[in-house]
């Protein structure tokens, strides 16, 4: 890919930037920073991945997965910083999902245990888990704030904390899974798996 071709891909950044400006959404700085960060991160990760793929060492694969889990945790915890113990809960969740997925894929011989398969699949699994976590935490904190009076009433009447936030929890789970369910409905028609 030439530098000109790569530069032309920035058109896809200019469109949301222009929309943000026209609609006065105030997203210009976020879009600009995200673009610069993604360019730097992709270049750096490209070199690291080339090294990991060439070495064929499972130790480096494991370190790469830990790096992904750490970055996903750091990003997702921002949405739930008011929740006690959210960091370790996110880490445990991401590790569990990763081990379960790779255990099934490698254990049943669906994919070989090589860096070229493990790392991209791990990136998709951890990335999707992170997005679900962010959606959940964002909705959950908003639900708790908007229903604070209801929560206090339940607690005042002798309800347990679990009973007091049950409705907020269920609403948040439902809302955060909508994008995944909707995208599953169109796999093969709109979205083609890699």
d(CA 88, CA 169) in angstroms, rounded, equals: 19
Residue 73 vs residues 15, 36, 109: alpha-carbon distances, Å: 30, 21, 29
Residue-wise DSSP of 112-137: -SSHHHHHHHHHHHHHHHHHHHHHHH
Mean pLDDT of 137-146: 93
pLDDT, tens only, 85-99: 999 999 999 999 999
What are the structural domain ranges in the chain?
1-55, 57-194
pTM beyond 0.95: the answer is no
Q: Tell me the pLDDT tens digit for each residue of 24-73.
A: 889 989 998 998 998 898 889 889 989 999 988 989 999 999 999 999 99
């Amino acid at each position: 890919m030439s530098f000109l071709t790569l530069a032309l891909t920035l058109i896809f950044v200019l469109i949301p930037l222009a929309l943000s400006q026209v609609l006065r959404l105030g997203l210009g700085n976020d879009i600009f920073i995200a673009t610069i960060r993604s360019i730097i991160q992709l270049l750096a990760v490209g070199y690291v991945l080339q090294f990991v793929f060439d070495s064929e060492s499972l130790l480096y694969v494991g370190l790469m997965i830990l790096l992904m889990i750490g970055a996903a945790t750091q990003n997702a915890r921002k949405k739930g910083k008011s929740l006690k113990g959210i960091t370790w809960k996110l880490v445990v969740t991401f590790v569990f999902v990763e081990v379960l997925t790779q255990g099934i894929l490698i254990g049943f011989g669906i994919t070989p245990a090589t860096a070229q398969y493990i790392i991209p699949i791990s990136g998709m699994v951890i990335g999707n888990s992170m997005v679900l976590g962010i959606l959940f935490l964002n909705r959950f904190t908003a639900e708790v704030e908007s229903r604070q009076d209801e929560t206090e009433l339940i607690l005042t009447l002798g309800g347990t904390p679990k009973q007091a936030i049950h409705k907020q929890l269920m609403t948040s789970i439902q809302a955060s899974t909508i994008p995944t369910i909707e995208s599953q409905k169109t796999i093969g028609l709109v979205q083609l798996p890699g």
